[in-house]
A and B are shown apart, each in its own frame.
Chain A
Amino acid sequence: MGAAAFLPYIVVAMALVAAVQIGRRVALWRLGQSAKVDWLAGVKAMPKRYLVDVHHVVDRDKSASRMHVPVAGGLVLSGALLLLGLIPAVASSRLYWTIVTLAFAFMAVGVALVAQRRYPHALPRLSLGRYQRTPFYLAAFAGGGLLTSLLAALGDPLPFLSLLSLIVAAAGGLALAAQAATGPMRHALAGAAHLALHPRPERFDATLPKGRSTSLKPIDLDGDKLGREDPADFAWNRLLSFDACVQCGRCEAACPAFAAGQPLSPKHLIADLAAAGGGGYGSPYAGNPYPNARPTGSEIGLHHAVIGDGGIVHPDTIWSCTTCRACVEECPMMIEHVDSIIDLRRFQTLEMGAVPGKGADVLDNTRLADEPNGHPLSERTDFAGGLGLRTLAAGESTEVLLWLGQAAFDLRGQRTLRALIRLLNEAGVDFAVLGEAERDCGDLARRLGDEASFQQLAKANIEALASVGFERILTADPHALHSLRNEYSAFGGKFDVVHHTAFLNELVETGRLTTGHIAGHAITYHDPCYLGRYNGEFDAPRTLLDALGLERREMARSKRKSMCCGGGGGAPTTDIPGDNRIPDIRMGQVRETGAKTVAVACPQCTAMLEGVTGDRAEVKDIAELLLDAVEAGKSAKSRNKGMQRELELA
């Protein structure tokens, strides 16, 4: 057997080294805040979460899934097989070594694929440094192991070569194990643990509506410290989640703020949060720097502020986020970047009062006037003068309660709402509004970290909604939809909330609205983040558009991968400067389709995309397009009738 006999001991050594390393991280995680975790259910669900949920995401990049299956599978398989080799009877079987050889060969194929992603040129989103060196360790272990076990399978004809390859395998394997806590391999165990002990286990339950797992969790406003300041403020399984990051950079590639040159990369931020806890992870970050990186401190420690006071993250980084969830959607490790960003913002806002730009103004307005721009609530229905909009008094009822949202105060938003109201009237829908009793839904305040204002607004709105009768809430604002549908439930407000695209689609499908065709030019549809990624609604708007006879072209980034307009998360108010503007980039993607109109379904998207200067596609809400089609249908009908009459007269 010769040298190969030592291979199992190498694996044991690797396991021991890795265990010591990981133990240091575990010890660190344990210093995080307590969290309610159902260990048993989590561990039970882990294989499914790995094989289904993780695989779904990984497989969106075929080169990654093709690489990961052999390299990880080969490593686990060969390691497990080698542990069997501790049994002398097994270790003396040439057949056994043949099998081990095959396992290493499988892994070696994977290693080749790993190397292909990094050499001669690494994919731009990947981190370099240790990550760039890892393929060598993997290659050493796989190659060394392969040769050693192959020679053993052949009856050890070249003992010196066996010894040499054993040394190579040992070097590679131990190198991997040695950085199990600080290097790329950390993702393996932390990732597995993260899957089992995930802070949002509901995201793995396919039977739950998407919005259930995308809602922000309330915090106790009576707590000693509001929001998260230093690493130790995070729950222990959040600290664990930071360690799960494999720095694949998919989040960064999807991040609109990164694309616009704002100082945010979700990958970098997660790496920073992992590093901020200390424990030997302060080594240089080898991914792309934050675009236009602001100067920061370098002080780390579990009890040292992450932001400010010498901390390693600049506040502009967290305020650049639009909360679009593209990063979360893309993360193969199921990390929840947005949760952490909001946690950090909550501390900045509630404890430091450090909201940048116009953010402070909108929060002041929200606190004082229940409305981010300080408009009197009584003016919310001003735009609907002459439309016969019914306002519900306490005790009155309607079938559909129309939630107007902030769009009611904005000339552009009013156009959409007027179109919607006219469609509802046309279809004979029994609907009404809350009028002055409708306060802001609180989305903006909450995303800016002002949890207190959000909770206050949520409670007041829930009370107002409880005072009237309705079956469903209808809104044209996906942000309001998300708050009312998913985030008010934490305060006892459980409502059936429908977005206007879905509702109008119902009206068309049930024949309550008859549409004509407004064919003639191509359109493309921009998915609002809070409707699509947050609430999983991708189909209704498209079905509706197709019913209008329009040629629908998809942007390269659409549906789940849609790119944010830049309007979420209060980003337009904090207005962190970058190289260009997110909506300009998005409009460029619209332009690539050649569509003359971009259909939207969110007042925020409308405002952002319409703010793009120069030659650009026309921005129209789906309600406006539908109204055009309904009116085109009517005038075609009256023309036909006119012709009919003339024929009869003739």
Chain B
Amino acid sequence: MIANAEALLKPLTIKGMTIRNRVMSTSHAPSFGKDGKPQERYQLYHEEKAKGGIGLTMFGGSSSVSLDSPAAPWNQISVADDSVIPFFQQFSDRVHQHGAKLMIQLTHMGRRTKWDTENWFPVKSASVTREPASRSVSKELEQEEIDRIVRDFAQAARRAREGGLDGCEISAAHGHLVDQFWSQLSNHRTDKYGGSLENRMRFGIEVLTAMRESAGDDYIIGMRMSGDELLKGGLTAEDLIAIASEYASRGLVDFLNVVGGQARDHIAHAVSLPNMSFPVAPYLPIASAVKREVDIPIFHAQRVTDLATGARAVAEGHVDMIAMTRAHIADPHLIKKLTEGRADDIRQCVGYGYCIDRIYIGKDALCIQNAATGREATMPHVIEKADVKKRAVVVGGGVGGLEAARVLAERGHEVTLFEKTDKLGGQVLTAAKATWREALTGIPRWLVGQVQKLGVDIRLNTEADDAAIFALSPDIVIVATGGLPHLGEAMGSEHAISTWDVLEGKVEPSGTVLLYDEMGDHNAASTAEHLAKKGCLVELATHDRMIGEEIGGTNQPVHLRELYNLGVIQTPNMELIEIYPEGNRKIAALRNVMTHQEEERVVDYVVVDYGTHPVDQLHFALKEKSKNAGFVDNDAIVAGKPQPYETNGSGQRDGFTLYRVGDVLAGRNIHAAIYDALRLCKDL
């Protein structure tokens, strides 16, 4: 039970439509669109939230109303013609059957998109400007184009209504066309759309007025907007409250979905999509300030990761609906678990940003810790019981092993989990020791809570060998022994220490440190921050074109900001070729990968990150004795079918099947380990 739960569970009625509770998911772009339509994958993803008790789920972040606002770069939805309506109808039926409401976001992205895709139209905006984030220079809209886009919005609203959607919002946040008109940074016009705030508001007013006319006055239309762009020269809280009041008092909008920030460049983008370095609900005061001035319901999202925070926000009257979008990606059954008295079973979003970071590099949104999200067609959020109870042994208590133990126990099997150390969580615990990355511990914390609750026999401080495993006469053995850091191929690599040595406190460097990174991920960047905070003078060198090249768009700017603030020297395009000691110090030789010119550094410590190599001795000790030689059947696993060794004739033979999950196969990431475990074990 959480405090103020009743505030969250109170229905909200807008224009006669009742939303069953105060928890929602805002429109976002998971990159699940197909051919510009929300098809099965997209629908199932939202249906799961509806099943999980959510009040309102909004989909289609940045759904395009016009051909010159391409949907393709985001694998998003085009509402520019009537062919989308049947998909909306199917979608709304699917969500409505579980009692939830469904709305869409409609927008014209203006300059915040690409010209070199889909229909190859130039990007358009109020004026000729360039947005750093999209890297596009816009064409200034002429009156005819403005009128056409206004009509496009109106048609899109009609399509939403005809598709059975419960409402829609326009996006006037994050620098879309409507707020491009509002802001003097992007609107330099001298006609009736530029100059005074009144003029700059005109385009949005025309859009909403036309939408009302075409969709009907009784249709719910809202607006997503910033409450403070937090940007030099951008729209201030006063400007935006004035806009909100004007639009609301004209009856143009039925709700406002308020965010903080703007997202025009990398760091602004990271600030608008706060990751785990931010406190929980950092921009609630911004939404609350708007709420104070307008009489229509206020929605708000941004790192509201737990129900207690959401409940407080609603109970104290800051907002009317609390949006827990990423929280639902981590666990789509939030409300169901709350109302069933199982709030402790909620898998809480840790703010990793894996979901959102993937979409900016053209991948689909996936959750770092919940491998079923976005894969509802094949991966279950609720594990079904197996028909036959088996004995399973899982070796390794990292997240892969924990997920395997959890899923096997949910299947009803008798599970024993061996962990060599005195803690469960594996590498994630190491990563979490680096400064703002501590929220990572939430991932193993949930898994540990679940396996304990499910009665898994957990044996800490116990290194499993084949004798200990055979003593349990298992049917299934899962080896999740993970990996250990590799010190690389440079000459004299034995003089280096790993990022793990630093984070786990095995070595406590001081003085000057060269940190060499071959991975481009969080590991090196966060270790550099950790060392710099301890007083080291750190140079972070990498083979890549820049520091943290693999780190996603909402996280990398935070790392860079920290590295700059801490005075870490960033040296890209260098390869570490040799380390040798000189007195108490070390000489590190670096070679520029572009010019092949070599340089030397005299430092106190050389720290390296080359990722991990598998710890697979146990696997190979068991391999010959297993029924399946330790292999997963790839065809079966891709098809989401049970492993053949479990079901065909060989399953009748005595002995056990052996599988590997996680980094024992090859060093990858948390999601890979968890997905390995889930997709295998759900059918065992």
**Contact: B339 with A415, CB < 8 Å?**
yes
B378 vs chain A, min Cβ distance (A): 16
Question: Which of chain A's residues has its CB closest to B13's CB?
Answer: A385
With contacts A411-B341, A412-B341 taken as known, whether A382 is within 8 angstroms of B6 at the C-beta atoms is: yes
**B339 contacts A385, CB within 8 Å?**
no
Inter-subunit contact B340/A382 (CB<8 Å): no
Check B341 against A379 for contact (C-beta < 8 Å): no
> What CA separation (Å) do A382 and B7 show in the bound complex?
10
Q: Chain A residues near B99 (CB, 8 Å)? A: 385-388
Q: Is B379 an interface residue (CB 8 A)?
A: no
A385 and B18 contacting across the interface, CB-CB below 8 Å: yes
Question: Once the chains bind, are B10 and A382 in contact (CB under 8 Å)?
Answer: yes
B37-74 contacts to A, CB under 8 A, are 55
Residues 376 to 434 of chain A near chain B (Cβ within 8 Å)? 379, 382-383, 385-388, 409, 411-412, 414-415, 418
- What chain A residues lie within 8 Å of B18 (beta carbons)? 385
Tell me how many residue pairs across A and B have CB atoms closer than 8 Å.
42
Of all chain A residues, which has the CB nearest B101? A386
Q: Which residue of B lies closest to A624 (CB)?
A: B340
Q: For A375, give the chain B residue with the smallest CB separation.
A: B6
Q: Which residue of B is nearest A412, CB measured?
A: B341
Q: Type the 1/0 row for A431-443, where 1 means its CB is closer than 8 Å to any CB of B.
A: 0000000000000
Contact check, A385 vs B19: say whether CB atoms are below 8 A apart. Answer: yes
Q: Known interface pairs A379-B10, A382-B11. Does A418 touch B100 (Cβ–Cβ under 8 Å)? A: no
Decide yes or no whether B9 CB sits under 8 A from chain A. yes
Let me know if B1 and A386 touch, CB within 8 A.
no
- Name, among B18, B55, B99, B100, the residue most crowded by chain A CB atoms within 10 Å (CB to CB): B99
Q: Which residues of A contact B11 (CB under 8 A)?
A: 382, 385-386
The yes or no answer to B20 lying at the interface (CB within 8 A) is: yes
A415 and B19 CA atoms in complex are apart in Å by: 19
Q: Is B577 an interface residue (CB 8 A)?
A: no
Interface pair A383/B100, CB less than 8 Å apart: no
* 0/1 interface trace, chain B 70-99, chain A, CB 8 Å (1 if under): 000000000000000000000000000011
Q: Which chain B positions have C-beta within 8 A of A409?
A: 6
Q: Is the CB of A386 within 8 A of B20?
A: yes
Cβ of B136 under 8 Å from chain A: no
Quick one: which of A388, A411, A412, A415 contacts B6, CB cutoff 8 A? A411
CB distance from B291 to the nearest CB of A (A): 21
Task: Evaluate whether A411 and B1 lie within 8 angstroms (CB atoms) in the complex, with A385-B18, A386-B99 already known.
Answer: yes
Residues of A with C-beta under 8 A to B98: 386
Task: Please indicate the chain B residues that have their CB under 8 angstroms from the CB of A383 in the complex.
Answer: 9, 339
Task: Indicate the member of A379, A385, A409, A411 with the most B CB atoms within 10 Å.
Answer: A385
Chain A residues lying within 8 Å of B6, measured Cβ to Cβ, are: 379, 382, 409, 411
Name the residue on B nearest A635 (C-beta).
B384
**B21 sits at the interface (CB 8 A):** yes
For B1-39 the 0/1 string (1 means CB < 8 A from A) is 100011001110000001111000000000000000000
Bound together, the chains give a CA A110 to CA B19 distance in angstroms of 73
Sorting the interface of chain A by its residue count into under 10, 10 to 19, 20 to 34 or 35 or more gives: 10 to 19
Size range of the chain B interface in the assembly: 10 to 19
Report the bound CA distance from A388 to B99 in whole Å. 8
Contact between A415 and B10, CB atoms less than 8 A apart: no
How long is the Cα–Cα vector from A79 to B256 in the complex, in angstroms?
A: 93
Which of A345-386 touch B at CB < 8 Å? 379, 382-383, 385-386
Q: How far is the CA of A173 from the CA of B5 in the complex (A)?
A: 71
What chain B residues lie within 8 Å of A388 (beta carbons)?
A: 99
Interface of B is mostly: loop
What residue in chain B is nearest A387 (Cβ atoms)? B99
Are B10's CB and A386's CB within 8 A? no
Quick one: given A385-B20, A386-B99, A387-B99, are A411 and B10 in contact (CB under 8 Å)? no
Please, how many angstroms separate the alpha-carbon atoms of A374 and B310 in the complex?
23
Question: Which residues 322-364 of B sit at the A interface, judged by CB distance below 8 A?
Answer: 338-341
Pick the residue among A382, A386, A414 that contacts B100 (CB under 8 A). A386
Chain B: minimal CB distance from A549 (Å): 16
In the complex, chain A residues whose CB is within 8 Å of the CB of B21 = 385-386
Instruction: Determine whether the beta carbon of A414 is less than 8 Å from that of B10.
Output: no
Tell me the smallest distance from the CB of A482 to a CB of chain B, in Å: 27
A412 to B341, CA, bound (A): 7
Minimum distance in angstroms from B336 CB to a CB of chain A? 10
A387: B residues at CB distance < 8 A? 20, 99
Q: Collect the chain A residues with CB atoms within 8 Å of residue B5's CB.
A: 411
Complex formed: what's the CA distance from A415 to B341 in Å?
Answer: 8
Least CB separation from A414: chain B residue: B339
Interface string of A551-577 (1 = CB under 8 A from B): 000000000000000000000000000
Do A415 and B340 touch (CB < 8 A)?
yes
CB–CB B9/A382 < 8 A: yes
CB distance from B317 to the nearest CB of A (A): 16
Q: Which residues of B contact A415 (CB under 8 A)?
A: 339-341
For A385, list chain B residues within 8 Å (CB). Answer: 9-11, 18-21, 55, 99
Bound Cα distance A545, B100 (Å): 32
The smallest C-beta distance from A481 to any residue of chain B, in angstroms, reads: 24
Bound-state Cα–Cα, A415 to B21, Å: 15
Question: Which chain A residue lies CB-closest to B384?
Answer: A635
Q: How many Å from the CB of B17 to the closest CB on chain A?
A: 11
Known: A379-B10, A387-B99. A411 touches B339 (CB 8 A): yes
- Closest chain A residue to B21, Cβ basis: A385
Query: Roughly how many angstroms separate A522 CA and B18 CA in the complex, as a whole number?
Result: 41
User: How far does the Cβ of B141 sit from chain A's closest Cβ, in whole Å?
Assistant: 42
B18 to chain A, nearest CB (A): 6
- From residue A288, how far is it (CB to closest CB) to chain B in Å? 39
Assembly CA distance A418 to B99 (angstroms): 13
A412, B338: Cα distance in complex, Å: 10
* CA–CA, A304 and B317, complex, Å: 55
Q: Contacts of A382 on B, CB cut-off 8 Å?
A: 6, 9-11
Chain B proximity of A649: nearest CB distance (Å): 15
- Closest chain-B Cβ to A426's Cβ sits at a distance in Å of 14
Give bound CA distance, A615 to B250, whole Å.
59
Q: Measured between alpha carbons, how far is A409 from B341 in the docked complex, in Å?
A: 14
Contact A418 B339 (CB under 8 A): yes
In angstroms, Cα B97 to Cα A386, docked, is: 9
Q: Chain A contacts of B340 at CB under 8 A?
A: 415
- For the complex, give the distance between the alpha carbons of A388 and B18 in Å: 10
* B338: chain A residues within 8 A (beta carbon): 411
CA distance A188 to B225 in the complex (A): 85
Q: In whole angstroms, what is the CA distance A414 to B55 when docked? A: 16
Docked Cα-Cα span, A379 to B18, in Å, equals 13
Chain A: CB-nearest residue to B53: A386
A415–B9 alpha-carbon span in the complex (Å): 12
Nearest-neighbor residue (CB-CB) of B10 within chain A: A382
Distance between Cα atoms of A383 and B55 in the complex (Å): 12
Which A residues touch B9, using CB under 8 A? 382-383, 385, 411, 414
For the complex formed, measure the closest distance between the CB of B121 and the CB atoms of chain A, giving whole angstroms.
Answer: 42
Closest residue of chain B to A418, judged by CB?
A: B339
- In the bound assembly, the distance between CA atoms of A414 and B341 in angstroms comes to 10
A418 partner residues in chain B, CB cutoff 8 A: 339
- Bound Cα distance from A411 to B2, whole angstroms: 10
Instruction: Give CA–CA (A382, B338) in the complex, Å.
Output: 15
Closest Cβ of chain A to B425, distance in Å, is 26
Residue of A nearest to B2 (CB): A411
A411 proximity list for chain B (CB < 8 A): 1, 5-6, 9, 338-339, 341
The winner among B1, B55, B338, B340 for most chain A CB atoms within 10 A is B340
A387, B98: Cα distance in complex, Å: 9
**CA–CA, A412 and B5, complex, Å:** 12
A-B pairs with beta carbons under 8 Å apart, 20 shown:
A382-B6, A382-B9, A382-B10, A383-B9, A383-B339, A385-B9, A385-B10, A385-B11, A385-B18, A385-B19, A385-B20, A385-B21, A385-B55, A385-B99, A386-B20, A386-B21, A386-B98, A386-B100, A388-B99, A415-B340
The 9 closest A-B pairs by CB, nearest first: A386-B99, A385-B20, A386-B20, A385-B11, A382-B10, A382-B11, A411-B5, A385-B21, A412-B341
Known: A379-B10, A382-B6. 15 other contacts (CB 8 A): A382-B10, A383-B339, A385-B9, A385-B10, A385-B11, A385-B55, A386-B20, A386-B98, A387-B20, A388-B99, A411-B9, A411-B338, A411-B339, A415-B339, A415-B340
